[in-house]
Amino acid sequence: MAFARRPCARLLQAGRGACARAMAPPLRFALELRDCTLAHFALGAADAPAARSDPRLAALLGPPGRSFSLSVRAAAPGDCGARVRAARLHRRLQQELRRGPFQRCQLRRLLCYRPGRAGDAQQGFLLRDPGGGADTRSALLELLGSGPEAAHLHLGEFEEDPQGTLWRREWALQGGRQLQVGRAPVLPAPEPPLHPLVPDLASSVVFPNRDAAREVLEACTPFIPEAQAVLDLVDQCPREIQRGKFPIIVMEGLDATGKTTVTRSVSESLQAVRLQSPPSCIGQWRKIFDEEPTIIRRAFYSLGNYLVASEIAKESTKSPVIVDRFWHSTAAYGIAEVGGGVQHLPPAHHPVYQWPKDLLKPNLVLLLTVSPEERLQRLQSRGLERTREEAELEANNIFRQKVEVSYQRMENPGCHMVDASPSREEVLQTVLRQIRSACY
């Protein structure tokens, strides 16, 4: 979805003083590298004594070539609507930076943040033009000044002076003229104990309760009609539900681990009702929400858990219930979307691994596992259309590892591992033994 082409004069007429304050450079940056490590750097005072650039930063940001930072201004803490709009702007910006004159450039994730301040992180990109073309800045400024949303974008350009100091210049477009509105030296910075996005997970990825997820989808109703339909269904579910006397077993696992097959077999063996999350009542809209940013996508799946919980409560009064995925998969895939590698996941026992207090809790959660090689072979033999998650798991080995580790760190309840490599009958008997031991 392209930005509308409009002059940005009225954007800057809204008050250059206020705009300049809002666009004050963040204190820290985290640049994601190809191996999923992070390079951190800070911006010093413009009048600070000059210091030679760190060789690692100079190689990433300095010549040859030109490097630019483009980020979306963070929403005010507690402003859910602004967070949703910022996430959608970031997604459209990513699409624009893969088109036209930017196709020759290298694109990497760049995070701007202030240490110790939750909700203040700015999602963005580092755009590196290997050829160092002078027209790249002009094309970015045209993008910056192409509509009212441009007020929420920051553009910076990195350059090295003759003394070897690396600088970041901030740019704006005024009356068709390129205008430098800030300048600061780039300094190396230590990596913080936690990934800068971890403090924001509860408000954007792993929602701690139904109301937090509902607030996100409510902010989406002006531009996603299906969001209101989901909310209407959720509002029909009682808040206080009790499970019945029969056990509730959840089957989790990556795609192609045999999860759906085992779930079907177990339900037949135990004469249990088989359910899945998201439930069929909203499954028709899954592709729509899968195309949205993480905060919207995860809110959709989170509310799907509350919808299926209402079904679980009713069915568990009559028979055992087997659920094909539930909260653990929603949380594990969401956590894995945070940048960096496995080492940047929230540490074990972090609150994001805890089951929501207002969500019906199962008696047992089983996690099916197979080797990466066997899983890939199964995927290829299926010949079915891949989901977004399947494609990501297949293309990104580190993402797969992050999902697996996140599953293993879940608590209250945790996941009981089951090796799904043997024959179908052997796996079924192993699962049934675990169910009988834990639930009967």
Domain boundaries, the chain: 9-188, 198-439
The owner of tokens 């779930």 is 263
Q: Does the pLDDT of residue 389 top 70, yes or no?
A: no
- Find the helix packing angle between 424-439 and 259-270, rounded to 10°: 60
Residue 324, SS3 per DSSP: strand
pLDDT in tens, 224-261: 999 999 999 999 999 999 999 999 999 999 877 888 88
**Cβ(406)–Cβ(332) under 8 Å?**
yes
What global pTM score does this model have? 0.87
Is 50 exceeded by the pLDDT of residue 8?
no
The percentage of the chain sitting over the pLDDT mark of 90, rounded to a whole number, equals 59
Decide: residue 260, CB within 10 A, 0-12 exposed, 13-18 middle, 19+ buried.
middle
Higher pLDDT, residue 21 or 337:
337
**Residue 172, strand partner residues:** 179
Q: What is the mean pLDDT of residues 155-177?
A: 85
Query: In the predicted model, is pLDDT for residue 47 greater than 80?
Result: no
pLDDT given for residue 16 in this prediction: 40
- Using pLDDT thresholds of 50, 70 and 90, give the confidence band for residue 378: low
**Sign of the CA dihedral running 50, 54, 55, 59:** negative
Q: What strands lie across the sheet with 364-369, from one edge to the other?
A: 273-276, 321-324, 248-253, 364-369, 416-419
The tokens for 99 are 């088109």
Distance CA 40, CA 338 (A): 16
More confident residue, 425 or 10: 425
57-60, long-range: CB < 8 A, 24+ apart: 57/166, 57/186, 57/188, 58/160, 58/164, 58/166, 60/31, 60/33, 60/126
Q: Tell me the C-alpha distance between 298 and 335, whole Å.
A: 10
Beta-bridge partner residues of 252: 367
Contact status, residue 332 vs residue 365, Cβ threshold 8 Å: no
* Whether the predicted pLDDT of 387 surpasses 60: no
**Where does the pLDDT of residue 397 fall: very low under 50, low under 70, confident under 90, or very high at 90 and above?**
confident
pLDDT value, residue 380: 67
DSSP letter, residue 331: H
Cβ neighbourhood burial of 169 (10 Å; 0-12, 13-18, 19+): middle
Question: Coil, helix or strand for 223?
Answer: coil
Q: Which CATH architecture has domain 198-439?
A: 3-Layer(aba) Sandwich (3.40)
User: Is the confidence at residue 23, as pLDDT, over 50?
Assistant: no
Average pLDDT over residues 3-29: 45
Q: How far apart are CA 244 and CA 439, in angstroms?
A: 13
Specify the pLDDT at position 21.
Answer: 39
Task: Provide the pLDDT for residue 393.
Answer: 59
Q: pLDDT (tens digit, 9 = 90+) per residue, 106-159?
A: 999 999 998 877 777 889 999 999 988 778 988 888 887 756 666 788 899 999
Predicted confidence at residue 52, as pLDDT, reads 64
Q: How many C-beta neighbours within 10 Å does residue 232 have?
A: 9
pLDDT in tens, 184-212: 999 889 899 999 999 999 989 999 999 99
User: So what's the pLDDT on residue 276?
Assistant: 94
How many other CB atoms are there within 10 angstroms of residue 25's CB atom? Answer: 19
Judge whether residue 7 has pLDDT over 50: no
Residue 338 has pLDDT above 90, yes or no: no
How many CB atoms lie under 10 A from the CB of residue 38?
20
Pairing of strands 122-129, 106-113: antiparallel
Question: Which residues lie below 8 Å from residue 395, measured CB to CB, with a gap of 6+?
Answer: none
Task: Flag whether pLDDT at 386 surpasses 80.
Answer: no
Mean pLDDT of the chain: 86
Q: What is the pLDDT of residue 229?
A: 97
The neighbouring-strand residues paired with 419 are 369
